[in-house]
Structure 1
Amino acid sequence: MFDAFKRKFDATPEGMEERVPPGQYVTQKFPVLHYGETPIYKELEQTWDLRVFGEIEAPKTFSYNEFRALPTVTIENIDIHCVTRWSKLATSWTGVRFRDFLTHIPALKPSAKYVLAHSEGGYTANMPLEIMYDDDVLLAYLYEGEELAPDHGFPLRLFVPKKYFWKSAKWLRGIEFMSADRLGFWERYGYHNNADPWQEERHAD
């Protein structure tokens, strides 16, 4: 009954049915789902930074102002899909394209094959490095032209729209490059490591 109620009020726009993966419903809202408390930041310019480390020639840390000075892109008409079965279509995000970000850090070692995103509160999300080179993978801080809301990851979140949205880690504070894969937070609790919405890779076998 609940699913029927949701579909009644969150109908898929006509002509966009092919953009909705199996088992998903379309919402006009932006539901809030995450583990732990929403962090509250004060004096970002003094207290926030982004650390980059692991299989890289030298670790690097960006202050808030240094990161926000990096060149940005805006990607539009992007669909996002949550493992809890909602999809939101045609969204707009602004941030630093991940592959461009790599030009602002020391060179990756040849052994770098995977990425682990580290967030506030110990949350992590893992991805193969090759996925991170896609055009639509961002270190994002604007949604629909405005700063991310605190519940949606302010001041910075990872954005990997081809995966279920738990991979797009909120409140990003660190990026670790790894030679071997390491399960992230939800993967350790049984979520599927690959997280492809079109294959309905919600949970591990």
Structure 2
Amino acid sequence: MDRVPPGQFVTERFPILTYGEEPRIAPEDWRLELEGLVETPLTLTYQDLLALPQVELTRDFHCVTRWSRLDVAWKGMRVKDLLEEARPKPEAVAALVECYGGYTTNLLLEDLLRDDVLLAHTLFGKPLPPERGGPVRLLVPHLYAWKSAKWVRRILLLDHLELGFWERMGYHWRGDPWKEERFQEGPVPAARIRFQALKKPER
């Protein structure tokens, strides 16, 4: 299969797109909270993150504004590992991701549980710079880049779909680049109500 989703062009540049002011969080001040529908709520410091099993991976990065950067090298810990420790409750189907600076985005629990979804702290072998979401950002490489939330600070598990910032502005509720899910057409399925059907993989 072609590595480049439909409607995208490949660039050697790595544009930086940020809505609003850029937060500046020192690593020693960074915290991640994993809360909501979990058996064991967790709070992670930057040193906690570094002490957990780490993963290095290279993935392509696709922005909804139609550029794609291939072979981006990241390092971090799998969100899946953190979720397994927190133990999501059976009714958990989605998450609202909250960031320093006020940005939010929504994800299905099944998307967070993929092996290549990371809490990333390193980019191309160097600490993740603030303008790219440092000290820690979410990496969700199989979806459009707005889902890879910068400056992540909280993951809240829910039994319903709670739309984030861009999703409320008309962006697609999921954002699969291979399906060109750029903007939402028609009603959002089961927004703000429980929806067990979406626990089934789409691809």
Normalising by structure 2, we get a TM-score of: 0.87
> For 1:50 and 1:133, how far apart are their aligned partners in 2?
17
Q: Structure 1 regions of 5+ residues with no counterpart?
A: 1-16
- Residue 181 of structure 1: how far off its partner (Å): 0.8
- 1:19 aligned counterpart, secondary structure: coil
CA distance in structure 2 between the aligned counterparts of 1:63 and 1:160, rounded to whole angstroms:
21
2:116 corresponds to 1:132: no
Structure 1 match to 2:23:
39
Q: Does 1:109 align with 2:93?
A: no
Taking the aligned partners of 2:51 and 2:25, their CA distance within structure 1 comes to 19
Asked if 1:143 corresponds to 2:123, the answer is yes
1:179 aligns with 2:163: no
Kindly report structure 1 stretches of 4+ aligned residues shifted beyond 4 Å.
none
Which runs of 5 or more structure 2 residues have no equivalent in the other structure? 186-203
Find the counterpart in structure 1 of residue 72 from structure 2.
91
> What's the offset of the Cα at 1:108?
1.5
The alpha carbon displacement at 1:40 in A equals 1.6
1:9-53 alpha-carbon deviations (Å, 9 max, x no partner): xxxxxxxx92111111111111000111111224x32x2211111
2:13 aligns with: 29
Shift in Å, 1:102: 2.1
- Deviation of the 1:132 alpha carbon: 1.5
Deviations 1:141-200 (A, max 9, x none): 111111112111001111111110000000000111111110011000000112111111
The aligned counterpart of 2:99 is: 119
Matched with 1:20 is 4
Q: Distance in 2 between matches of 1:153 and 1:180?
A: 27
| Cα RMSD after superposing both structures | 1.4
Percent identity, aligned pairs only?
A: 49
| Secondary structure of residue in 1 paired with 2:170 | coil
- What is the alpha-carbon distance in structure 2 between the residues aligned to residue 65 and residue 20 of structure 1? 36
SS in 2 for 1:170: coil
Q: Report SS of the residue matched to 1:30.
A: coil
For 2:9 and 2:92, how far apart are their aligned partners in 1? 37
Residue 64 of structure 1: CA displacement? 2.1
In 1: Cα distance, 2:133 partner to 2:124 partner: 14
| Displacement of 1:91 | 1.3
**Aligned partners of 1:51 and 1:25: how far apart in 2?**
36
Would you tell me which structure has more helix in proportion to its own residues?
1
Decide which structure has the larger Cα Rg and report it. 1
Aligned length: 185
Contact 2:40 2:85 in 1 (8 A): no
